[in-house]
Amino acid sequence: MPKSYRNGFIILFAAIYCVLYAAYACIPDSYLHEKIYYYAIVWPTAALIDFAAPSAHVIGVQNRLQSPAVILNIVRGCDGAPVMFLLVAAIIAHRAPWRPTLRGAAGGVALIYALNQLRIVVLYFLLAHRPDWFTAMHVYFIPTFLILAGALYFALWAGDGVAKPRDPLTD
pLDDT surpassing 80 at residue 10: yes
**Alpha-carbon span 157 to 137, nearest angstrom:** 28
Residue-level pLDDT at 2: 57
Within-domain flag for 106:
yes
Within-domain flag for 127:
yes
User: Could you list the residue range(s) of the whole structural domain that residue 66 is in?
Assistant: 3-163
Query: What's the chain's length in residues?
Result: 171
Q: pTM for the whole thing?
A: 0.89
The number of domains in the chain is 1
Tens of pLDDT, residues 12-28: 999 999 999 999 999 99
Within-domain flag for 79:
yes
Residue-level pLDDT at 73: 96
Within-domain flag for 54:
yes
What 3-state DSSP class applies to 102?
Answer: helix
Tens of pLDDT, residues 15-74: 999 999 999 999 999 999 989 999 999 999 999 999 999 999 999 999 999 999 999 999
Residue-level pLDDT at 7: 75
Within-domain flag for 110:
yes
Within-domain flag for 37:
yes
**Alpha-carbon span 163 to 101, nearest angstrom:** 7
Residue 88, Cβ density class (10 Å: 0-12 exposed, 13-18 middle, ≥19 buried) = buried
The DSSP secondary-structure symbol of 161 reads G
- Determine the angle formed by the axes of helices 142-159 and 81-93, rounding to 10 degrees: 20
Pairing of strands 64-66, 59-61: antiparallel
Within-domain flag for 170:
no
